[in-house]
Amino acid sequence: MNNFYNNICFLWDLDGTLIDSYKVITSSIEIILNNMNIRISYENIRKEVTEHSVGYFLENISSKYKLSLDELTKNSHKLINSRYLEVEPIKNAKEILEHLTFLGIKNFIYTHKGKSTFDILNNLDMSRYFTEILTIEDGFQRKPNPEAINYLISKYNMNRNSTYYVGDRKLDIESANNANIKSILFIPKDSYIKPTKKENYIIEDLIEIKNILNVSRETFK
């Protein structure tokens, strides 16, 4: 059993996958836009941010309303980062990380989030589950480029056939596919995301990862 699990590694996205940060992100952007007399509904902001990214949404707003993208981005991230204490873990995130750690499986994070990643994880007592955490500050090319994933695979001598990337967006699935590792698309019931038909697994609850491991173990036997 130990040999099987010791060969497995999990790479994780952060926002919307391990931490329920979209509420803070969406409401912060809404506040920034309202202060500029730009009225976009909370639901429309959330839909765009979750389906694409914060950067994608802000670029479109900047272009549409002739705003400075740098200033808009800076103000948005400043407010979002200042509210890190409001961020909560996704349901069963700690439970599945505890389970994987108990089995001897190594966990990693690769996120486009910046320095606030560590503030949030430390506040939630989740940093201890991860062997290494890569953020946008590390300078790797953005998803779906597999550069960061390939770096971790090389550094820790991971087996691509038993390495999983878990994320809540199509971008995460593309990243996993580009790195030739297994992909798990996390789609909670309130998600706007639809299956890509390119993911290896789809889950509604992170605890379902236990089932994936059990099936893989039986196949291994």
Give residue-wise pLDDT tens across range 124-174. 999 999 999 999 999 999 999 999 999 999 999 999 999 999 999 999 999
Whole-number Å distance between alpha carbons of 77 and 80: 5
Q: Per-residue pLDDT for 217 more than 90?
A: no
Q: Per-residue pLDDT for 122 more than 50?
A: yes
Mean pLDDT for 19-38 is 96
| Strands 182-186 and 201-203, bridge-based pairing | parallel
Whole-number Å distance between alpha carbons of 81 and 76: 9
User: If you average pLDDT over every residue of the chain, what do you get?
Assistant: 94
Helix axes 54-65, 42-51, angle to 10 degrees: 120
